[in-house]
Structure 1
Amino acid sequence: MKNHYLISAVVLTVSLLTACSSAPKPGDTVIEQQVIESNTITATAVIVGIDKENRAVTIEHSNRLTTLYVSPQLTHFSELEVGDIVKTQFTESVALHVQAHDGSARLQSSGDLDTSTKGGGISASEKTEIIADILAIDKENNTVTVKGPQGSEMMLPVEQHPEYLEKISVGDQVVVTYTKAVVISIEEQK
């Protein structure tokens, strides 16, 4: 009789360990990241102003002015002149994934600047992540209720992949990543 209980205890322990090892760890991805929107605009612009003291360059394209602050890492800054033609490429994208809960809802930002582009150009990007907690899942109406970093709650429709509702759980987190990137290169004057 004792052996029967011992075998049952071993089977139960192995089952629990197997279940624990397959459960997602905090921050593990539950649903892989998908880009839900992306847009890139390439244009030629002209430098219309330079503020050498503040290391700022103002460019104009389609009657629109944009001021860019240039890092001290860009060594070619002193060579820029009003009237120089620059090629710009602006990209914005929004991506979404679901992860196992890894802390409270929050907003995170990071940036990157690369001045090693060919021709002394600039490449910069900024990434903002909004991490919201999943409070409720309504599979009948294909909606998810989330709570954002400031405590506000929103009910979101799940239109594109309602089958994903089977993979997520209350307590998981939705991570929305908004990325802005710009590449500016100096065109040779002709």
Structure 2
Amino acid sequence: MKKRSVFVVAVALCALALPAMSKDELPAVVVSSEPGKATITEAVKVTGTVESVDLQKRRVSIKGSHGKVQSLELGPDVRNLKQVKVGDRVVVRYAQALTLTLMKDGKELRGKTESVGGERSRKGKRPAGAVGQKVEVTADVVAVNRRTRTITLRGPQQKVDLKVRDPEQLKQIKVGDQIHAVYTEAVALSVEPAARARP
């Protein structure tokens, strides 16, 4: 999956690996910005047809509307996997968001917290599941380069350079400030009845 620059920063700060997924439809991306705060969100809906099912490995191969086959490994949250058959229609919804907030003269300790939650279908119902993850990171601003429009952040595990495209946002940031990043992602999968061929 292509990651926009702000998501690359979230991945670097949080040491996350986003699931690889082909997008059959263009993502809906929304960017909002106000002094000292920026948010980017992305939502994608992928539909396809089940090409193969490996119950032992809990792996399902899905052919998207553009003919590309993608293999997905389904965790235990996707219940009733035995009901999935070749030809079933599958819908995968994926959403992610990153909010960066400037904390002037920050006094917080650098840190990272993670939380995960999920839901799954009831026994006997069609297979489905949803998993959500939230990661929060507090990082110190250790350098500001106004010429290249970059800031250097030291997170709990590593340093990373962040390009700040908005000059008004860059004017507000100085060494000694902190950036609080909140990254959330959610993946939902559901299986729909296979479309019947017309006689």
TM-score under structure 2 normalisation? 0.58
Q: How many residue pairs align between the two structures?
A: 155
Q: Distance in 2 between matches of 1:74 and 1:180?
A: 17
Residue 58 (structure 2) pairs with residue 43 (structure 1): no
2:188 to 172, 183, 186: 183
Kindly report the root-mean-square deviation, in angstroms, between the aligned alpha carbons of the 2 structures. Answer: 3.5
Corresponding residue for residue 91 of structure 2: 87
What are structure 1's unaligned runs of at least 5 residues? 1-30
Q: 1:145 to 1:133 in 2, by over 3 A?
A: same
Residue 78 (structure 2) pairs with residue 52 (structure 1): no
SS in structure 2 of the partner of residue 78 of structure 1: helix
Corresponding residue for residue 8 of structure 1: none
Indicate conservation of the 8 Å contact 1:57/1:70, yes or no.
Answer: no
Map 1:15-54; keep pairs closer than 5 Å: 34-35=38-39, 37-54=40-57
* Per-residue Cα deviation, 1:25-79 (whole angstroms, up to 9, x for no partner): xxxxxx87642x22222232112222212323232213041313231x4432221
Question: Which amino acid counterpart does residue 83 of structure 2 have in structure 1?
Answer: E
Indicate conservation of the 8 Å contact 2:83/2:127, yes or no.
Answer: no
* Per-residue Cα deviation, 1:135-181 (whole angstroms, up to 9, x for no partner): 2567899764422344435364361643872xx66444213333332
Q: Distance in 2 between matches of 1:32 and 1:116?
A: 41
Map 1:9-158; keep pairs closer than 5 Å: 34-35=38-39, 37-61=40-64, 62=66, 63-71=68-76, 73-99=77-103, 100-104=106-110, 106-116=111-121, 120-136=127-143, 144-152=151-159, 154=161, 156-157=163-164
More helix by share: 1
* Per-residue Cα deviation, 1:101-151 (whole angstroms, up to 9, x for no partner): 3323x5554432211499542212233444321225678997644223444
TM-score under structure 1 normalisation? 0.61
Q: 1:132 to 1:64 in 2, by over 3 A?
A: farther
Q: 1:130 to 1:49 in 2, by over 3 A?
A: farther
Question: Which amino acid counterpart does residue 50 of structure 1 have in structure 2?
Answer: V
Q: Quick one: percent identity of the two aligned structures? A: 22
Greater Rg, structure 1 or structure 2? Answer: 1
SS in structure 1 of the partner of residue 87 of structure 2: coil
Q: Distance in 1 between matches of 2:38 and 2:129?
A: 27
What are structure 2's unaligned runs of at least 5 residues? 1-34
Question: Which amino acid counterpart does residue 80 of structure 2 have in structure 1?
Answer: H
